[in-house]
Structure formats: structure tokens, C-alpha cells
Chains A and B, each alone.
Chain A
Amino acid sequence: GNSVTQMEGPVTLSEEAFLTINCTYTATGYPSLFWYVQYPGEGLQLLLKATKADDKGSNKGFEATYRKETTSFHLEKGSVQVSDSAVYFCALTLWDTDKLIFGTGTRLQVFP
């Protein structure tokens, strides 16, 4: 079946550290891939997306590249801030369905 696997959290970093949150997927067909972020007490916000292989999504200093050969969509940021502390969800959708399939989420905690 179709699924998304994310690294377990929490990920704890100091401010200005480099961030990687791993995401791999299993899909029948060619999915579109997304990262959503959930700040404390808020809903899910779209962070970035990529719809085909080798596409790079980017937003607010975050990047993720759609790697078909490794079925991955890892989230990276060169220098995290305390305000980046949140839960990050990797998700996919397929051309023949309405639904988003989410990973379990990875909590990021950034300390000053």
C-alpha cells in the first residue's frame, strides 16, 4: 500500500544548527510530496511541495528534493531558529485519489 515513513523524534538542536528530517515513501505510481508544519496550538500549514522527480520544494529556508531513485523527500534547513520548533509532517498524494497520506510527524525542538 501507500505509506510515508518519517524519522522518530524529537529532534533537538541548538539555534543555527543544520537540520535534516528524513522522509521516505512507498507508493503505487508517482506521488506528489509535501511537507506540512504544525506549530504549537495551531493547524497544519503547507511548508513546501514537489510534484515530480528531481523537483526541489523550498520555503522559509527549508528545502526538500523529490528523489525517485531512493523514494525520499528529506527536509533540510541550513540554520534553524527557535521559532522553527514545531512538528513536521511528510505527506503524499497520488493522481487518482483526493486524500493526503501522512507520516507520523517529527517534533523539532530548537534551543537558544
Chain B
Amino acid sequence: EPEVTQTPSHQVTQMGQEVILRCVPISNHLYFYWYRQILGQKVEFLVSFYNNEISEKSEIFDDQFSVERPDGSNFTLKIRSTKLEDSAMYFCASSMEGQGGQPQHFGDGTRLSIL
């Protein structure tokens, strides 16, 4: 069964450094998402991406965050200047269609630790 893959599985970064989290969505999916889960808290939506542009973003997704689909297969999340509170598990997801009930398929996540 096709799956979403994320790399790396664990990323350790110094505060203030830039970090890029990578995802390969399912190949025939058109909608891509990033979520995060701070330890012990809810899974929170960050951003959705369709047709090479952001279609929706949350309040968390401020100017420090950006997303990109640099080629036909990868989808990346960049944090420009990391803060301690960015430490979390980051999940990438993809779906065939967007709004209204289409299931999103998740990767195994990247654990980001900011020192």
C-alpha cells in the first residue's frame, strides 16, 4: 500500500538555526499538509498546500515557517530560526482531494528537538 514517507525520523537542532523537514506524499495525491504534536498535547494543523500554493494555514504558521514542493515528489517544511517551543513531532499528510471528508494519510513523523 502506498504511504507517506518522512525524513529524518529525528532532527536535533540548535536554537536559532534553520531546519528543513522533508516528506514524500503518496504519488497520485494532490493535497499536502503539515501538522505538529507537542509532547502531551493535541495534533495541530499547520498548513495545507495545493496546486503549488498554500490553501489554508493556522495561526501557528507564522513568518518563520514556509512550505515548498521543490520537485514532483517532495514536500518540505522549513523553519527559519528555530525556537525551543518548536520542539514537537511534525507529521506530513496527503490526500486525493481537499475539503469535505477525504481521508488524509499520514507519515510516521519527524521528531524535532531544539536545544
Contact = CB atoms under 8 A, between A and B. Distances in A.
Task: Say which size band chain B's interface belongs to.
Answer: 20 to 34
A102 B42 contact: yes
In this complex, the member of B48, B50, B98, B101 whose beta carbon has the largest number of chain A beta carbons within 10 angstroms is B101
B100 A43 contact: no
Given A49-B101, A98-B33, A44 B55 contact: no
Contacts of A91: 43
B103 A46 contact: yes
Interface in B62-115: 91, 93, 98-101, 103-109
A86 to B, nearest CB: 14
Contacts of A41: 108
A101 B45 CA distance: 7
Contacts of B98: 98
Interface of B: 4, 6, 31, 33, 35, 41-45, 48, 50, 55-56, 58, 91, 93, 98-101, 103-109
